[in-house]
Structure 1
Amino acid sequence: MNQRILKVLEFDKIKSQLEEKAVSPLGKEKVVQLVPSHDFNHVIHLQNETDEAFQILRLKGQVPLGTIYDIKPSIKRAGIGGILNTHECLEIAQTMYSGRQLKQFIEQIEDLDTPLLNEKLDNYIPLRELEREIKNRIDDHGHMMDGASSKLRSLRSKIRTSESKVRDRLENITRTKSKMLSDAIVTIRNNRYVLPVKQEYKSAIGGIVHDQSSSGATLFMEPQAVVEINNALQEARSEEGLEIERILRELSARIAEDEAILRSNVEILADIDFIVARAKLSHEMKASKPKMNQDGVIKLRQARHPLIPVDEVVPNDIDLGKDFTAIVITGPNTGGKTVTLKLIGLCTIMAQSGLQIPALDGCEMAVFSQVFADIGDEQSIEQSLSTFSSHMTNIVDILDNFDQNSLLLFDELGAGTDPQEGAALAMAILDHTIQKDARVVATTHYPELKAYGYNRPNVVNASVEFNTETLKPAYRLLIGVPGRSNAFEISKRLGLRDEIIKEATKHIDTDSRSVETMIGSLEKSRKEAEKAYEEASLILEEAQELRADLTKQWSDYEMKKDQLMKKAEEKASKAVEKAREEAEQIVAELRERQEAADFKEHVWIEAKKLLDQASPNLAKETSNKKPKETADAKKKALQPGDEVKLLTLDQKGTIVEQTGKNEFQIQIGILKMKAKRDDLLFIRREEKTLEKPLTSIKGSGYHVKPELDLRGERFEDALQQLEKYIDDALLAGYHKVSIIHGKGTGALRKGVKDFARTHSRIATAKDGNMNEGGLGVTVLELK
């Protein structure tokens, strides 16, 4: 893609922001080399890479890239037999360590699917032995460690011993002959330990002069007494240097053995640094992943120009390529037309570079073979080109090279020449590009082009909103509405006399006034329509939320009702079955003992028959039976509490009260409504039963455990079981019971405590002691 166009659209500024996000020199180098791709599959691949890294940043907050160096020159030098220094070796080890940590981090992410990053890191080979070998010999500051070899350890021990001897002897001289010295210190000259001796005591000290002060009054002398020790020290240091060189030669050879792997590894790390940099920029811009297409369709929702500050930028909706292939933006200068033009172009090349775009989710971008732009005044004094000539030069080049897969951006098309000729030229150029099915966005302030979109099937007019009250552009793009010049309104606001404005209007032809009137009417209609649409949208949203809420609550109610009915029936059936078994056992024992001689056989048979009749009908037994909607059920007198069916809605409900002669208020879920008697079908009526007093049941063999285990139960089911269990415990005469709910998230424990506070027959609720289960158990004292 033409570099001039990338510069005009300010893509270089986006790359500068992106370069700041890369942490390694290699990642920054890839940013510098970044250009938009016109390969659709490659663009999809780039976008997916960016999105994977973006999702990791969203979930984990960061990607540990560590310290990555550009080790390619060092690897190359080692490969041709060169000897690397300690810092170069350390950089290789640290880069390998960063890569190994990154590989482990990505592999341990289980919440996200990152196939592209995993594929890259699957090819990363951690050279742990080489990394360990380097770090065992070179410390974090790039110094060769004593333990790098046994010989080096021995040499450094010898050096420290020699240095200690030299210092001891020289410090002894400083104490005994301090008057002969300029300063009582030991210093170093030519890598040998010396003393600062006064000139006049040179002979008294004796030895080798290595240096003197600028005045010549002080000589830096190596006393004869330490010459041999200094020689031994120098010899040991020389041997140390040779040993370090040997170790570095050995390490360099090891690095050369893995040259190919290291090159591959560092390239992988550079790629991932580049990908993560793109994700960081997306996060900073609050950008989103665009859906890419090859159909020339651009669909932006609340798109923001990425180079305008967030507190100043105005989001815009832009559609191009589906219902129309060209947009002509008209209106006055400084209205924001050029910003909109650059926004479309910049978002396009960002998307084709693998960058997410600053817009809401659900946006779409096309992959174009070329993006052409003629934006700005490129007047050239050296080439004697006027503004018009400069624009025409660019436009000629564009018309010679574009095709149907191109995006064309024209700023002030036809400007810089006679208005009538410029407008005609602009329309001819637009007609030519539209006929080839290219995607075109053009700006102009020619009034002749305001009606252009109405005469072409694939063209739509647009304008940038201008506030005549504040005399400032609103930078809001209005698709379908051509722009007004606003010259008279602005002049009036600025204080131009009315008579001058009226005189000016006389010079405007009838057609121009008609167009301006039409535009004004369109703007008014648009604003009214937008207001009505917003109000309707709010009402619709509220209605949809209410409907969804009612549907959910009704569904939950029906499900819970069926579950409770089934549980209650099953529990009653089990209780009756158990009673039957106990009764039969007692009868059998009585017969065996012949204690029931006075009872007739038919009495036992009758009792058993009554017991069988007491068995409840289970839900599964009655599920296939349909309620009989008879005339009697429709005519039956209704009263509050009756369960009925509202025939008009085919929903079940409960009678709340009678509101008229033939009118009732019913409750369906959380919804209350009125209905006529003819629309209601009686289903059943709750029979009132007298409960036995507690005193008649206590001690009568009512069996219930002194503890209830709620672990593993859903929250709502657990509270229902708890409520039933408290009733059973009260009937059984318990004064204290234990509720086992486990620790978990603490939600069930809180629910039990809240239930206890609102129950009239529960005196206290406290956590269990350590021997009772601790925080996993709540002990309830009953009244």
Structure 2
Amino acid sequence: MDSRILDVLEYKKIIERLSQQTATSLGSEQVKALRPSTDLQEVQLWQAETDEAAHVLRLKGQAPLGGIVDIKPSLKRTTIGGILSPYECLEIASTIYGGKQLKRFIEDAEEPEMPMLRELAGNIVSLNELERHIRNCIDDHGVVMDGASSQLRSIRSRIRTYESRIRDKMDAYTKSKSKMLSDAIVTIRNERYVLPVKQEYRSAIGGIVHDQSSSGATLFIEPQAIVDLNNQLQESKVQEKNEIEKILKELSEAIAADETYLYENVKRLGHIDFMFARAKLAQTMKASKPTMNDHGVINMRQARHPLIAAEEVVPNDVELGKDYTSIVITGPNTGGKTVTLKMVGLCTLMAQSGLQIPAMDGLEMAVFENVFADIGDEQSIEQSLSTFSSHMTNIVDILSRVDDKSLVLFDELGAGTDPQEGAALAMSILDEVVSRHARVIATTHYPELKAYGYNRNEVTNASVEFDIDTLKPTYRLLIGVPGRSNAFEISRRLGLDESVITSAKQHVGRDSESVENMIASLEQSKREAERDYEHAEELLEEAEELRNQLKKQWDQFEHQKEKLYEKAEQKAEKSLQKARQDAEDIVNELRQMKHDTGLKEHEWIEARKQLDEAQPALTQHQSKTKSVQTSAESKELKPGDEVKLLTLNQNGTIIEKVSAKEYHVQVGVMKVKAKRKDIEFIQSEQPVQERPMATVKGKSHHVKTELDLRGERYEEALNHLEKYVDDAVLAGYPRVSIIHGKGSGALRTGVQNFAKTHRSVDTYRAGGMNEGGSGVTILELR
């Protein structure tokens, strides 16, 4: 891409803003080398990288890129045998640590859509041993620590000892010889400890003079008593320096051994920073990812110039490459034509650089092999070229290279010469560029070009809107409508006499006036259409809001309905439990009455009536359960069918059908009238058990459901039991109770042995807590 075009479209300002978003010098270095690519696949890869990084920023806020430094110069020095300084070694350790932090951040992220970042992070080598080695030798301030080697620890211990002894001796001088000193302090000259001695006491102190004050009144003397200690101290410091150099050499060699891994890590870290910088720039611009193509299609909605502040820029829609390949924009000066031209060119360069575009989602951008621009007054005084000559020089160069893979931007095409000739030349140039199938956007003042787009299928007109009421441009781009001069309206608003305006109109040709009227009509129609569209959008939003409110209220209604159903079911369940308890109480009362006094017929009738009244009247809501019940109710029941009475939770046998929806059910000793919906079918009557109803009814009147064997002899009791079981089977009882008492347990054993072998007994069990316990055996009859 031509560097002059990058300057004209202000691409370098975008690069500067992008560089400010980097966190490391490594990323900044890649930003400065960024140039638009003409390879579609490469551009698509760059866009995917930017979008992936933007996705991470939206979810995580930021990426940990602290502590990462450009260590490439240091690595290069180690490969040629150089010794690194402690700070250089510390920067390498910091970069290793920063790389590990970033790698862990990416690998621990839960988002699956991060293939490129995961691949980059996965290839970062965690050099833990090298980092640990450096950290064990150098502290966070870049000082080689005592523990770096045993020799260094020993040397520094001697240094501290010598310094302590020297301070002690010097402190003794400052106390005992204070009158001879200019100041009672110890200072250093030529890396040796000295005292500030007054000139007249030079001989009294004695020693080596290292310096004197500017006035000569003070001499800095090293007392003879500490000369040897100072010599030993300096010797130890030389040893310390040599040992530190030895340690740094070992560290440098260790770093050189991992130079390949470190260099690759740095490259990957720089690229990750570069990716996040592009994503941060997209966030600041509120930009979107474009879909890239190589067939010259540009489609931007509410696109903004990237370098104009958000509160000042006017968004515009731009379409190019589908229905038409060229746009001719007309309109007044300072109306925004050049800004639109630069916006399209700069956004194209940004898209081809992997940067997102400040526009609404769903935008489409093209990859061009060349972007040409002839914008602004580039007159060269040195070359003695006029404005027209300067423009023509650029245009000649453009025409020599333009093809169907080019985007061409002409600002004020044909300006700077005779209007008639300039307009003719402009149309001829446009014809040439359009014939080569390039994508073209041109701005012009010439009225002749307003009709240019109507005569060519590949070209459309456009204009920048001007508000006659405020006499200011709105900077809105109107595709399909050419601009008009507005000279008469502006003059009238500014107070020019109406007679002068009328006279001026007479000098304007009828065709020109007709064109102006046509343009005015188009602008009015477009404004009305836009108002209608905005009104439709408002109605759509209101309808959508109303729909959401209704849906919310419906959901609340459904939720409330379910809660009411649930409450009703809980109430019904409580009623059923109460009914079961009442039924149980009635049964217990009947048993007690039978045991105590025996039952009369009217007492049985009263008991059955109480049991029927204990059944609750429940209202069931329409649900899946009802459909199942309805299916069960459809089965026709026959006398002898075994059923379950739902209201009492007891099994029984169908005696007879009372009506279409009611049956008499034998439940133990009770005959209950129940509705069909409260009866659950279990199984049909077995054929072998069929007996004449008269026999069953006859027997049931004098056969009890209990047999009391207490007080009878063993053989007599078993004979009595056998006859009783036959009668009970004949009566159709499903179960009977045999009362034998507890006693020695012999009679209970005899009853249970009888039950094991008798053909009419299915199973037996001991009585429950409310059935007599172990003093009763319950026989289930076949």
Aligned letter for 2:532?
A
Q: Which residue of 2 aligns with 1:598?
A: 600
Q: Which residue of 1 aligns with 2:165?
A: 165
Instruction: Give distance in 2, aligned partners of 1:556 and 1:321.
Output: 50
1:86 is aligned to 2:86: yes
SS of the aligned residue for 1:211 comes to: strand
Instruction: Give distance in 2, aligned partners of 1:564 and 1:326.
Output: 67
Q: Which residue of 2 aligns with 1:303?
A: 303
Aligned letter for 2:287?
A
Q: Deviations over 1:161-183 (max 9, x none)?
A: 21122222223223333444343
Instruction: Give distance in 2, aligned partners of 1:172 and 1:607.
Output: 119
Which stretch shows the higher mean deviation, 78-87 or 206-215?
206-215
8 Å contact kept, 1:24–1:69: yes
Q: Which residue of 2 aligns with 1:726?
A: none
> CA shift at 1:616, angstroms?
6.8
Q: Which residue of 2 aligns with 1:108?
A: 108
> CA shift at 1:286, angstroms?
2.1
> CA shift at 1:13, angstroms?
0.7
Instruction: Give distance in 1, aligned partners of 2:628 and 2:522.
Output: 63
Aligned letter for 1:528?
E
1:6 is aligned to 2:9: no
> CA shift at 1:5, angstroms?
0.7
8 Å contact kept, 2:407–2:439: yes
Which stretch shows the higher mean deviation, 14-23 or 168-177?
168-177
For 1:664-703, list aligned pairs within 5 A: none
Instruction: Give distance in 1, aligned partners of 2:560 and 2:568.
Output: 12
For 1:308-327, list aligned pairs within 5 A: 308-327=308-327
Q: Cα–Cα, structure 1 residues 2 and 599, in superposed 2: closer, same or farther, change >3 Å?
A: farther
Instruction: Give distance in 1, aligned partners of 2:198 and 2:125.
Output: 64
Q: Cα–Cα, structure 1 residues 398 and 581, in superposed 2: closer, same or farther, change >3 Å?
A: farther
Q: Which residue of 1 aligns with 2:241?
A: 241
Instruction: Give distance in 2, aligned partners of 1:292 and 1:586.
Output: 85
Q: Which residue of 2 aligns with 1:475?
A: 475
Aligned letter for 2:470?
T
8 Å contact kept, 2:402–2:436: no
1:529 is aligned to 2:529: yes
Instruction: Give distance in 1, aligned partners of 2:608 and 2:205.
Output: 136
For 1:233-312, list aligned pairs within 5 A: 233-312=233-312
Instruction: Give distance in 2, aligned partners of 1:570 and 1:41.
Output: 66
Instruction: Give distance in 1, aligned partners of 2:401 and 2:409.
Output: 14
Q: Cα–Cα, structure 1 residues 13 and 603, in superposed 2: closer, same or farther, change >3 Å?
A: same
8 Å contact kept, 2:579–2:615: no
Q: Deviations over 1:370-389 (max 9, x none)?
A: 22211111122222332222
Instruction: Give distance in 2, aligned partners of 1:256 and 1:607.
Output: 101
Q: Which residue of 1 aligns with 2:210?
A: 210
Q: Which residue of 1 aligns with 2:673?
A: none
8 Å contact kept, 2:579–2:616: no
Q: Which residue of 2 aligns with 1:620?
A: 624
Q: Cα–Cα, structure 1 residues 427 and 119, in superposed 2: closer, same or farther, change >3 Å?
A: same
Instruction: Give distance in 2, aligned partners of 1:552 and 1:200.
Output: 102
Runs of 4+ aligned residues of structure 1 deviating over 6 Å after TM superposition are 600-618
> CA shift at 1:195, angstroms?
2.2
Q: Cα–Cα, structure 1 residues 567 and 182, in superposed 2: closer, same or farther, change >3 Å?
A: closer
For 1:111-510, list aligned pairs within 5 A: 113-510=113-510
Q: Cα–Cα, structure 1 residues 423 and 624, in superposed 2: closer, same or farther, change >3 Å?
A: farther
> CA shift at 1:131, angstroms?
1.5
Q: Cα–Cα, structure 1 residues 182 and 625, in superposed 2: closer, same or farther, change >3 Å?
A: closer
Q: Deviations over 1:299-347 (max 9, x none)?
A: 2222221212222221212222233222110012221100010011111
SS of the aligned residue for 2:137 comes to: coil
Q: Cα–Cα, structure 1 residues 27 and 619, in superposed 2: closer, same or farther, change >3 Å?
A: closer
**CA root-mean-square deviation:** 3.0
Q: Cα–Cα, structure 1 residues 396 and 609, in superposed 2: closer, same or farther, change >3 Å?
A: farther
Q: Which residue of 2 aligns with 1:734?
A: none
Instruction: Give distance in 1, aligned partners of 2:392 and 2:628.
Output: 83
> CA shift at 1:620, angstroms?
2.9
Instruction: Give distance in 1, aligned partners of 2:562 and 2:192.
Output: 98
For structure 1, the residue ranges without an aligned partner over 5 or more in a row are 627-783
Q: Which residue of 1 aligns with 2:698?
A: none
Aligned letter for 1:518?
M
Normalised by the size of structure 2, how large is the TM-score?
0.74
Instruction: Give distance in 2, aligned partners of 1:589 and 1:401.
Output: 112
Q: Deviations over 1:176-229 (max 9, x none)?
A: 334443433322122111223344444333322323334444333222111100
Q: Which residue of 2 aligns with 1:30?
A: 30
Question: How high is the sequence identity, in percent, across the aligned residues?
Answer: 64
Q: Cα–Cα, structure 1 residues 351 and 625, in superposed 2: closer, same or farther, change >3 Å?
A: farther
8 Å contact kept, 1:411–1:443: yes
Q: Cα–Cα, structure 1 residues 591 and 332, in superposed 2: closer, same or farther, change >3 Å?
A: same
Q: Cα–Cα, structure 1 residues 610 and 196, in superposed 2: closer, same or farther, change >3 Å?
A: closer
Instruction: Give distance in 1, aligned partners of 2:384 and 2:484.
Output: 34
Q: Cα–Cα, structure 1 residues 434 and 168, in superposed 2: closer, same or farther, change >3 Å?
A: same
> CA shift at 1:84, angstroms?
0.5
Instruction: Give distance in 2, aligned partners of 1:94 and 1:557.
Output: 61
8 Å contact kept, 1:463–1:477: yes
Q: Deviations over 1:46-100 (max 9, x none)?
A: 2222223323333333322112211001111112221101010011111222222
SS of the aligned residue for 1:45 comes to: helix
Instruction: Give distance in 1, aligned partners of 2:327 and 2:485.
Output: 18
Instruction: Give distance in 2, aligned partners of 1:153 and 1:562.
Output: 80
Q: Which residue of 2 aligns with 1:70?
A: 70
> CA shift at 1:444, angstroms?
0.7
Q: Which residue of 1 aligns with 2:667?
A: none
For structure 2, the residue ranges without an aligned partner over 5 or more in a row are 631-782
Instruction: Give distance in 1, aligned partners of 2:460 and 2:412.
Output: 17
SS of the aligned residue for 2:358 comes to: coil
8 Å contact kept, 2:593–2:599: no
Aligned letter for 1:268?
R
8 Å contact kept, 1:180–1:201: yes
Aligned letter for 1:509?
G
Q: Cα–Cα, structure 1 residues 94 and 616, in superposed 2: closer, same or farther, change >3 Å?
A: same
Which stretch shows the higher mean deviation, 236-245 or 490-499?
490-499
Q: Deviations over 1:424-454 (max 9, x none)?
A: 2222222233333322111111101111222
> CA shift at 1:602, angstroms?
9.2
Q: Cα–Cα, structure 1 residues 163 and 401, in superposed 2: closer, same or farther, change >3 Å?
A: same
Q: Deviations over 1:675-723 (max 9, x none)?
A: xxxxxxxxxxxxxxxxxxxxxxxxxxxxxxxxxxxxxxxxxxxxxxxxx
Q: Which residue of 2 aligns with 1:666?
A: none
Q: Cα–Cα, structure 1 residues 584 and 247, in superposed 2: closer, same or farther, change >3 Å?
A: same
> CA shift at 1:583, angstroms?
3.3
8 Å contact kept, 1:327–1:441: yes
Q: Deviations over 1:498-520 (max 9, x none)?
A: 44433333332222111111111
For 1:631-650, list aligned pairs within 5 A: none
Instruction: Give distance in 2, aligned partners of 1:544 and 1:102.
Output: 44
Q: Cα–Cα, structure 1 residues 45 and 593, in superposed 2: closer, same or farther, change >3 Å?
A: farther
1:517 is aligned to 2:512: no
Instruction: Give distance in 1, aligned partners of 2:548 and 2:554.
Output: 10
8 Å contact kept, 1:423–1:446: yes
SS of the aligned residue for 1:594 comes to: helix
> CA shift at 1:25, angstroms?
1.5
> CA shift at 1:473, angstroms?
1.9
Q: Deviations over 1:257-277 (max 9, x none)?
A: 111111111111111221222
Instruction: Give distance in 2, aligned partners of 1:615 and 1:138.
Output: 85
Aligned residues: 626
8 Å contact kept, 2:211–2:219: yes
Q: Which residue of 1 aligns with 2:542?
A: 542
